[in-house]
Amino acid sequence: MIIFDQILPIVTEVLNDHHSVVDQLDWLLINRDLNGRIRLILPESIETDDGLRPRFEDIYRTLGERIAPHAFPAEHGILYEANKDIALQSAASRPLEGFKKVWVVDRLATEGKWAPITPETKGPPRVVFFSIKGGVGRSTALAATAWTLAEAGKRVLVFDLDLESPGLSSSLLSPDRQPAHGITDWLVEDLVNNAEMMLENMIATSGLSQDGEIFVVPAHGADPGEYISKLGRVWMPKVCDEGRREPWSARLLRLISNLEERICPDVVLIDSRAGIDEVASSCVTDLGATLLLLFALEGSQTWNGYRILFEHWQRAHVAQDIRERLKIVAALVPETERPTYLEQLREHSYGVFIDTLYDEIAPPPSDAVGPVDDGGGRTWRVDQIVEGWNFDEADEGAPHHPWPVYWHRSFAGLRSLQGRLLVIDAEEVRSIFGPLIRGVIDTLDMGAGHV
């Protein structure tokens, strides 16, 4: 019996057997519906083309027999559309390997597609804090970064987008400073064009910093209200009067841009949800992040998770759009045997990046003469080293090479991070979060030299 993962390899095989026929089309969509069943969508002109139409009916029949039960009865297996973009209907699509004019269209039950990747923002830099596993100190590190940047005189805008388990705002705001509304309120009101009034009352300033300012946009307001009912609606697309459909992540991006214009921050910090989740997908791929911090605990669960994500980007041909913005953060690095722990983490991180996101460096041709060290331990003739986006395992500037955040007992099991940050000093922050914060400042070229 054929299973889901075998569908596309078989489609590729069958179409390859008919490459010359397929090449005669302007476009061809392989539509995989919500149940994982395949249809072909062809340009309308083919329906009346007595030469090509029967050829594609034959192709679908062959395909249907091979991928059953993931096919329709042959007479329902082909659809015709005037226009490719209408047929796509904003679903995720990607080119089929080996074909120039064939795209796979995946209709998903969720909006979280993890591809394509929104280009980097041209406004103030946005830094997303993401992790595959929860509870790794993401929000704490974000709060410490916000605190340090504000102490250096920066205007920092923070979004709590961990909507399903909000908490960051209470780390940065005392209860009396919580604003009336939050991101969920805005997203729900926006559906009925009622969100403008929210903007005045969804940002609060944190009293933690003396010099700069931390502006916090919480997931919900001081009174969460019917939070669960609102949460169930935040990822609704908005259908405008002209029938145009605006996906929820585009709405979120509109909110972020709007607040950036109001606040004029030097930097925007976004606390994402953990895991391969719908809201996280938006934070990582749709918000035009400048820098994506991928928090990692050493262990197979972390690396398997990142591998799944990176392979998805590779398959969707979007790896090049995102890989230069990634950086691994070694989370909660234990107090004992730090060098060994970090070495292992770096080795496993490198393994995943080299298998998925880094370009392969072609092996030296057989007539290579040398030896010349390419800096990566290989000895080739210089003119035979093929250029590519690749790094040495020990290269500190590489995305796989972690910025560590150290486990420290003063942060473990805290009752109130807000209380902790009120009494913290710069030296303490530096000793725990220093490499991460320094890395963020240098990468964004923020010139907070004395931090």
Ligand X SMILES: Nc1ncnc2c1ncn2[C@@H]1O[C@H](COP(=O)(O)OP(=O)(O)OP(=O)(O)O)[C@@H](O)[C@H]1O
Q: For the sheet containing 38-43, what is the strand order?
A: 78-81, 38-43, 28-32, 102-106, 92-95
**Which of Mg ion, ligand X, none has residue 268 at its interface (CB below 5 to 8 Å by kind)?**
none
CA–centroid distance for 65 within its chain:
37
CA–centroid distance for 409 within its chain:
31
The 10 Å Cβ neighbour count of residue 207 is 14
Task: Report in angstroms the alpha-carbon separations of 365 from 216, 380, 384, 385.
Answer: 56, 9, 7, 9
The 10 Å Cβ neighbour count of residue 438 is 15
- Contact with ligand X (CB under 6 A): which of 162, 190, 266, 286? 162
**Which of ligand X, Mg ion, none has residue 365 at its interface (CB below 5 to 8 Å by kind)?**
none
Residues 296-335 that bind ligand X (CB under 6 A): 332
| Residue 117 CB, nearest approach to ligand X (Å) | 23
Phi (first) and psi of residue 138, to 5 degrees? -60, -55
| Residue 223 CB, nearest approach to Mg ion (Å) | 21
| Residue 158 CB, nearest approach to ligand X (Å) | 13
Q: Quick check: 411 binds ligand X (CB under 6 A)?
A: yes
| Residue 437 CB, nearest approach to Mg ion (Å) | 17
- Contact with ligand X (CB under 6 A): which of 9, 135, 232, 365? 135
Q: How far apart are the first and last CA of the chain?
A: 60
**Which of Mg ion, ligand X, none has residue 353 at its interface (CB below 5 to 8 Å by kind)?**
none
Q: Which two tokens stand for residue 297?
A: 């605990």
Site string for Mg ion, 116-145 (x = CB under 5 A): -----------------------x------
**Which of Mg ion, ligand X, none has residue 134 at its interface (CB below 5 to 8 Å by kind)?**
ligand X
Between 1 and 412, name the residue whose CB sits nearer to ligand X. 412
- Contact with ligand X (CB under 6 A): which of 7, 104, 152, 432? 432
Between 104 and 432, name the residue whose CB sits nearer to ligand X. 432
* Distant-in-sequence, close-in-space partners of 443: CB < 8 Å, separation ≥ 6: 291, 327
Identify the burial level of 403 via C-beta atoms within 10 angstroms of its C-beta, where 0-12 means exposed, 13-18 middle and 19 or more buried.
buried
Residues 102-131 that bind ligand X (CB under 6 A): 131
- Contact with ligand X (CB under 6 A): which of 93, 139, 209, 249? 139
The 10 Å Cβ neighbour count of residue 109 is 7
**Which of ligand X, Mg ion, none has residue 61 at its interface (CB below 5 to 8 Å by kind)?**
none
| Residue 167 CB, nearest approach to ligand X (Å) | 6
The 10 Å Cβ neighbour count of residue 329 is 25
- Contact with ligand X (CB under 6 A): which of 82, 109, 412, 423? 412
Between 131 and 290, name the residue whose CB sits nearer to ligand X. 131
The 10 Å Cβ neighbour count of residue 174 is 15
The answer to whether 384 touches 364, Cβ cutoff 8 Å, is yes
Between 136 and 183, name the residue whose CB sits nearer to ligand X. 136
Q: Quick check: 288 binds ligand X (CB under 6 A)?
A: no
Q: Quick check: 282 binds Mg ion (CB under 5 A)?
A: no
The dihedral formed by the CA atoms of 94, 100, 101 and 106, expressed in degrees to the nearest 10: -20
| Residue 62 CB, nearest approach to ligand X (Å) | 48
DSSP one-letter string for 413-432: T-S-HHHHHHS--HHHHHHH
* Distant-in-sequence, close-in-space partners of 94: CB < 8 Å, separation ≥ 6: 103, 104, 106, 115, 315, 316, 317
Site string for ligand X, 364-403 (x = CB under 6 A): ----------------------------------------
**Which of ligand X, Mg ion, none has residue 412 at its interface (CB below 5 to 8 Å by kind)?**
ligand X
- Contact with ligand X (CB under 6 A): which of 31, 140, 290, 349? 140
Angle in degrees, 0-180, between the axes of helices 426-444 and 138-151, rounded to the nearest 10: 90
The 10 Å Cβ neighbour count of residue 169 is 29
Number of amino acids touching ligand X (CB under 6 A): 20
Residues near ligand X (CB under 6 A) = 131, 134-140, 162, 165, 274, 332, 405, 407-408, 411-414, 432
Binding residues vs Mg ion (CB under 5 A): 139
